[in-house]
A and B are shown apart, each in its own frame.
Chain A
Amino acid sequence: MSAGLTETPAGRWLALGPALLVIGVFMLVPLGIMVTISFMEPNVYGGVHRQFSPSAYVQFLYQRDFDDNLVFNPGYLYILGRSLGLAGLATLICFVAGFPVAWYIVRRPPHQRNVLIFLVTIPFWTNLLIRAYAWIIILGRDGVIDTPLRWLGVMGPEASNGILYTNWAILIGLVYTYLPLMILPIYASLERLDFRLFEAASDLYSNKWASMRHVVIPLALPGIFAGVILVFVPALGDFISAQLLGGSRRLMLGNLVQLQFSTARNWPFGAAVAVILLLFVVASMAAYLRLNRKTGLELSK
């Protein structure tokens, strides 16, 4: 009996067994390996020397000069800053652009809503690389954006590649990729919203903006938090937008990790960067859980 199985503690563990096994083998163990590698010495032929060393983390902040002294090197911090900045800005833009879309869809009749939500998810049907290449053509020289900008004189002849290979191009790529992940959870929370509350607010002297601010947004907060996490976390680790749209000189943390494991063959440093990235992700998740528990408590009180 499946109902009986989950009633005893032993049965509960048994029922959770497969899930725990998958999480353990495919997530916790690899994470452990990654953290372990980050504390080892690199081997110049790839792989690692099995020897404890914090040198990978030191390398993130310092470099050795010709006299073998440690010198502060902010290069990797710039990359971290660019990653946080671009991911944060992309999240903000996704919210500002995604919330009205979710609101619009929720206000349609039910049969139209399903069609519109389906349209929102359509980009996921195409391979991410192909979509990124499409953006190269759109943003690149003589593309549909570059040509009118040059014609208007906004962009001078010195910008040989248009806005391709700039931070802006990375930002556009990030927003484009993750916008649906903002719209869907906000839509889900707005759909559960009782629209009579909107009427009640307008009955109590709220114009549309005041109703939004004091009723709709507070009640949609769980969905907004979820959307922010769903956009910010993968955007922080994204490397495809940066690699294809940012050119070779504008790395994000994701590119740095990829580079260390492939070309640079410095596994410990790559692992260390990945651990640093993970810390930021865990921090934002913790903030999310905290906020969500607070608003969740308020809503269920």
Chain B
Amino acid sequence: MLDRHDEQGHDNAPPAISFRDVVKIYGAGAAAFTALHGADLDIRDNEFFTLLGPSGSGKTTLLRLLAGFEVLTSGTIHLFGAEIRDLPPERRPVNTVFQHYALFPHLSVAENVAFGLKRLRRPAAEIRSRVAEMLALVHMEHLADRQPGQLSGGQQQRVALARALAPEPKVLLLDEPLSALDLKLRQAMREELQRLQRETGITFVFVTHDQDEALSMSDRIAVLSEGRIQQIGTPDDLYNRPYNRFVADFIGDTNLLEARVLRRSGDEVNLRLSGGVEVTAAAAPGIGEGAQVTVSVRPENVVLTGAEAGSVRARLVGKTFLGASSLLTLALDDASRVTVRRDNRMGHPEDPETGAEVGIVFAPGSLRVLLP
């Protein structure tokens, strides 16, 4: 939606997946619910792509449309240039790792992994070697004869991955596969998934509501909210150059400040914050002089100074110790709040006492004007 034209411009290979004007409406009449309002999205071959959004944002609907479990209301989906809207799931070269794994409880681990290959009527010898290869890939070869009910959550996860990778799909879909695991395992599996994606060279489409997962694993991310794609970009783009208020707020912590545009010059605008201070920020398209806007600045880009040295005066009203860093809450003159993140490196100056008068400056280039 946002960068589709230039994206196609510098990449000659056709995208692995392209959604065009995809609309999905569940139900009909008064009970109709629009899960997707015309999504446009290109996913490149061999990319680790993440669909990120809160529940109800349409990310899972997008994945299910791709797998073929739901029927498009309108629009098109192309897989390596071929239209797939009328193909049933079993005829799409796409496999899914389900949120709760959906392993077949009556089949052993090896039989689960062989399931897709058997339906594809591959020769028995090929199935056997492929199953062994897949189980080795996910380090599960010693448990090949177990039933899924005898496995831990993390082991079931690995079997689900092996089962979905065994038929060598062109695209692997992952529907919040880590959400049922505990924290430690979840972090280990992140690296595991990245390794698998690199080793297999298969395009991964990963759905999650967890921004840490998305930022740590993905090549690119599409952020969704209320059935619309809000922004598509690299983790760095989303974090440091959020496009609108939703993305800035959803990804990481941020300070949102109200301001009025004084002047615009190229990519920069001069703003007056509601407290009266003038600052320079990166502009957003369609923002002109006199506009009332919201500006985002990350807590780590707000620097604490002495009361007189800062460009903005503030009073410290709260401190939260987080170990590696602390979050300080400041009240500005107009009663708006700003959060500052400070490193707790050894030898770093002590945090001021609560109630102290302080000053702050914004790191250069850290302020961004957001679209509503």
A197, A200, A202, A218: the one contacting B88 at CB < 8 Å is A202
Given A206-B90, A298-B106, A299-B105: A200 touches B96 (CB 8 Å cut-off)? yes
The minimal Cβ–Cβ distance linking A69 to chain B, given in whole angstroms, is 57
Complex CA–CA separation, A219 to B148 (angstroms): 14
B interface size (C-beta, 8 A): 28
Q: Which residues of A lie under 8 Å from residue B96 when comparing CB positions?
A: 199-200, 203
* B149 partner residues in chain A, CB cutoff 8 A: 299-301
Closest to A200 in B: B102
The answer to whether A201 and B115 have CB atoms under 8 Å apart is yes
B250 at the interface (CB under 8 A from A): no
In the complex, what residue of chain B is closest to A196 when comparing beta carbons? B102
Given contacts A204-B167, A206-B119, contact A298 B147 (CB under 8 A): yes
Q: State the CA gap A301–B146 with chains docked (Å).
A: 8
- Beta-carbon contact of A207 and B147 below 8 Å: no
Q: A205: CB under 8 A from chain B?
A: yes
Among residues 276 to 301 in chain A, which have CB atoms less than 8 Å away from a CB atom of chain B? 295, 298-301
B104 in contact with A200 (CB, 8 Å): yes
Q: Cβ of B106 and Cβ of A204 under 8 Å apart? A: no
Shortest Cβ distance from B114 into A: residue? A204
Q: Is A214 an interface residue (CB 8 A)?
A: yes
Verify if B187 is at the interface (C-beta below 8 Å from A): no
Q: How large is the interface on A (under 10, 10 to 19, 20 to 34, 35 or more residues)?
A: 20 to 34
Least CB distance, A137 to chain B, in whole angstroms: 44
Interface pair A205/B120, CB less than 8 Å apart = yes
Cross-interface CB contact of A207 among B69, B90, B106, cutoff 8 Å: B90
**Interface membership of A194, Cβ < 8 A:** yes
Known: A202-B88, A202-B90. A194 touches B102 (CB 8 A): yes
Known A-B contacts A205-B116, A205-B119, A214-B115; the reply to A199 vs B89 at CB < 8 A is yes
Q: Please tell me if B150 contacts chain A, counting CB pairs below 8 Å.
A: yes
- Per the bound structure, the CA–CA distance linking A197 and B100 in Å amounts to 10
In the assembled complex, which residues on chain A have CB atoms less than 8 Å from the CB atom of B119?
A: 204-206, 210, 214
Question: Is there a chain A Cβ closer than 8 Å to B95's Cβ?
Answer: yes
Chain B residues with CB under 8 Å of A199's CB are 69, 89, 96, 98, 102
Report whether B89 and A203 are in contact in the complex, using a CB–CB cutoff of 8 Å. Answer: yes
B295 adjacent to chain A (CB < 8 Å): no
Q: Beyond A207-B90, A219-B106, A298-B106, is A200–B98 a contact (Cβ under 8 Å)?
A: yes
Q: Chain B contacts of A203 at CB under 8 A?
A: 67-69, 89-90, 94-96, 164
Across the interface, do A205 and B102 meet the contact criterion of CB distance under 8 Å? no
Interface flag for B163 (CB, 8 Å): yes
Q: For residue B188, give the distance in angstroms from its CB to the closest CB of chain A.
A: 24
Residue of A nearest to B95 (CB): A203
| Complex contacts, B116 vs chain A, CB 8 Å | 204-205
**A207-B167 contact in complex given A196-B102, A200-B102, A218-B106, C-beta closer than 8 Å:** no
- Residues of chain A within 8 A of B98, CB atoms compared: 196, 199-200
Name the interface residues of A197-229: CB closer than 8 Å to any CB of B.
Answer: 197, 199-207, 210, 214-215, 218-219
CA separation between A54 and B95, bound complex, in Å? 68
Q: Are B90's CB and A301's CB within 8 A?
A: no
Also in contact, A197 and B102, with CB within 8 A (given A204-B115, A205-B119): yes
Contact with B along A140-160 (1 / 0, CB 8 A): 000000000000000000000
Cβ–Cβ < 8 Å partners of B115 in chain A: 201, 204, 206, 214
Q: Complex Cα distance A219/B167, Å?
A: 24
Task: Name the A residues within 8 Å of B89 (CB-CB).
Answer: 199, 202-203
- Chain A residues with Cβ below 8 Å from B94 are 203
Which residue in A202, A215, A300, A301 is a CB contact (below 8 Å) of B104?
A: A215
A204 pairs with B95, CB closer than 8 A: yes
Complex CA gap A227/B119 in Å reads 29
A105 to chain B, nearest CB (A): 21
Give a binary string over A167-211; 1 marks a CB under 8 Å from any B CB, 0 the rest: 000000000000000000000000000101101111111110010
Tell me the nearest residue of chain B to A211, going by C-beta: B90
Distance from B86 Cβ to chain A, minimum over Cβ atoms (Å): 15
Q: Which of B91, B104, B149 has the most CB of A within 10 A?
A: B104
Q: Which residues of B contact A298 (CB under 8 A)?
A: 106, 147
- Whether the Cβ atoms of A299 and B88 lie closer than 8 Å is no
A-contact bits for B63-77, CB 8 A (1 contact / 0 none): 000011100000000
Q: Nearest Cβ distance between residue B171 and chain A, in whole angstroms?
A: 12
Q: How far is the CA of A207 from the CA of B119 in the complex (A)?
A: 9
| Minimum CB–CB distance for A209 against chain B, Å | 11
Residues of B84-130 contacting chain A, CB below 8 A = 88-91, 94-96, 98, 100, 102-106, 115-116, 119-120
With the chains together, A300 CA to B148 CA distance in Å?
9
- 7 A–B contacts, CB within 8 A, in A order: A197-B104, A199-B98, A202-B89, A203-B90, A203-B95, A298-B147, A301-B149
Please report B residues at the A interface, Cβ cutoff 8 Å.
67-69, 88-91, 94-96, 98, 100, 102-106, 115-116, 119-120, 146-147, 149-150, 163-164, 167
What 5 additional pairs, Cβ within 8 angstroms, besides A199-B96, A207-B90, A219-B105?
A196-B98, A203-B95, A205-B90, A206-B119, A300-B149
